[in-house]
A and B are shown apart, each in its own frame.
Chain A
Amino acid sequence: RKEVEQDPGPFNVPEGATVAFNCTYSNSASQSFFWYRQDCRKEPKLLMSVYSSGNEDGRFTAQLNRASQYISLLIRDSKLSDSATYLCVVNTRSGGGADGLTFGKGTHLIIQP
Chain B
Amino acid sequence: ETGVTQSPTHLIKTRGQQVTLRCSSQSGHNTVSWYQQALGQGPQFIFQYYREEENGRGNFPPRFSGLQFPNYSSELNVNALELDDSALYLCASSLDFGSYEQYFGPGTRLTVT
Q: Which residues of A contact B (CB under 8 A)?
A: 4, 8, 32, 34, 42-46, 49, 87, 89, 91, 95-106
User: What's the least CB distance linking B47 to chain A, in Å?
Assistant: 8
Pair count A-B, CB < 8 A: 75
**Cα distance A101–B102 in the bound complex, in angstroms:** 10
* With A97-B31, A98-B94 as contacts: A45 and B57 at CB distance below 8 Å: no
Task: Please name all residues of chain B whose beta carbon is closer than 8 Å to the beta carbon of A102 when the two chains form the complex.
Answer: 45
Give residues of chain B (12-43) contacting chain A, Cβ–Cβ below 8 Å: 31, 33, 35, 40-43
Kindly identify which residue among B41, B48, B101 contacts A105, using a CB–CB cutoff of 8 Å.
B41
Taken residue by residue from 72 to 102, chain B's Cβ proximity to chain A (1 for < 8 Å, 0 otherwise) reads as 0000000000000000001010101111111
Task: Please name all residues of chain A whose beta carbon is closer than 8 Å to the beta carbon of B2 when the two chains form the complex.
Answer: 43, 45
Kindly identify which residue among A34, A100, A104, A106 contacts B101, using a CB–CB cutoff of 8 Å.
A34
* With A87-B42, A96-B97, A98-B92 as contacts: A45 and B104 at CB distance below 8 Å: yes
Task: Please name all residues of chain B whose beta carbon is closer than 8 Å to the beta carbon of A43 when the two chains form the complex.
Answer: 2, 90, 104-107
Kindly identify which residue among A32, A42, A45, A87 contacts B100, using a CB–CB cutoff of 8 Å.
A32
Q: Which residues of B contact A (CB under 8 A)?
A: 2, 31, 33, 35, 40-45, 48, 50, 55-58, 90, 92, 94, 96-107
Query: A44 to B48, Cβ gap below 8 A?
Result: no
* With A43-B105, A96-B55, A98-B33 as contacts: A91 and B100 at CB distance below 8 Å: yes
The 6 closest A-B pairs by CB, nearest first: A99-B56, A103-B42, A98-B33, A43-B104, A96-B98, A98-B48
User: What's the least CB distance linking B80 to chain A, in Å?
Assistant: 25
User: What's the least CB distance linking B1 to chain A, in Å?
Assistant: 9
* With A32-B100, A34-B100 as contacts: A97 and B33 at CB distance below 8 Å: yes
CB-CB nearest in chain B for A85: B42
* With A34-B100, A105-B40 as contacts: A97 and B107 at CB distance below 8 Å: no
